[in-house]
Structure 1
């Protein structure tokens, strides 16, 4: 089941819902080829426009989920279809639930050691039977990567969650997923910190009206520079809508 793929300002996005993404993941897990799963949001789209390396990494990714509400709205404005949000922070727990039911092995890579361990503990409590094959902090040097890749393959990991932040995690997956024998490698940004209780996710009321970005900005004003990409993204979308 190959999803329809569209482009938002030159960045590919797959037309998926959460349920369809989980179904696609189940199909991938039943196969034998590694797949990278990357979240697409306005900030990443704008960065890719000025960063050829990131743009290439996104084009080579196997599954590109519409993570941000801005991407969903842009698709509608441009007449490219009615997308549904597939937040990466919500997809990861759904995949862990699937893994717990079917006996797949997961691995957490990227955050600080205590964050990884706490996130793994929370997931195991939430999804009884989940097999967490291991965790690894994200402060590895390139010289340590061959041994790390060998470890992942030796542990027969099925799902690898990478929490290095963007664009570092996209670069890592682009470079190393072809060497892995995992079925799914998902970039999850700061999701481990949320699971571990280090960062509070936006309350449901904010998420329901698609203002999670605003809550994050108010909670952490240091994000202001990153969030500056949002109005620039909106301008570019409207410009493309008017000028074609």
Structure 2
């Protein structure tokens, strides 16, 4: 990503991808003979990526870090940084596949249960007839066949490798095996295959914009209300960061 379109919050990179540059950005990544991981970054991920470790390294080395949380945008605004565009992960994937379809690219799906993956495979094929699907492999596989999965992906050589649930480490699984894959784009989207297969309802644009999509999850798991403590810490860290920037 061009540095002028990337900001840093607590040293964590966040990219701004607007609608006008979306297709151009994706096509550039798909055709420059490089290996590119795109990652979605929510509030929890931002806080986790502040330190050191495997997850922080993945975020810092990703070609695109796509913000999905309004809290990240609020933090950028508080620090007087350019405020990036926030993206709905599933809508982002739809636009991504459309951009790859325009250049006659290829797609490989890995993850999810066999039945959900099969339905997702068929629905993606029907929705993007110009996108060539070169393979699929269900998730939740045993450790002893992981090498076979990686080999199958490498032989297929897809323009984009789209991963879903059922991979140990989720997005980290892609990072751990990046060297074994060929050139192209890789992206983990939790829940995308379930939406493609019809097993999960897509979040409406209205709910996404209002940021009310998470309410049902909190009702089911009320202990998540305690996560507000993270937001208190976030506010304190933002204040400290703002003071630090003023003293530079």
Which residue of structure 2 aligns with residue 181 of structure 1? 182
Does 2:125 match 1:124? yes
| Paired residues, number | 240
The TM-score, its normalising length taken from structure 1, stands at 0.86
**Aligned partner (choices 217, 220, 237) of residue 240 of structure 1:** 237
- TM-superposed CA distance for 1:111, in Å, is 0.8
Runs of 4+ more than 6 Å apart: none
Structure 1: which 5+ runs fail to align?
none
Structure 2: which 5+ runs fail to align?
244-248
Cα distance between partner residues in 2 of 1:214 and 1:44: 19
Which residue of structure 1 aligns with residue 134 of structure 2? 133
Which residue of structure 2 aligns with residue 196 of structure 1? 197
Cα distance between partner residues in 1 of 2:37 and 2:158: 14
Query: For each residue in 1:9-65, what CA deviation from the matched residue of structure 2 results, as whole angstroms up to 9, or x when unmatched?
Result: 442212222443432110011111110000000021233457733222222222111
Compared CA separation, residues 70 and 208, structure 1 to 2 (3 A): same
Cα distance between partner residues in 2 of 1:225 and 1:167: 25
Cα distance between partner residues in 2 of 1:20 and 1:226: 36
SS at match of 1:212: coil
Compared CA separation, residues 204 and 87, structure 1 to 2 (3 A): closer
Which residue of structure 1 aligns with residue 110 of structure 2? 109
- TM-superposed CA distance for 1:180, in Å, is 0.7
Which residue of structure 1 aligns with residue 209 of structure 2? 208
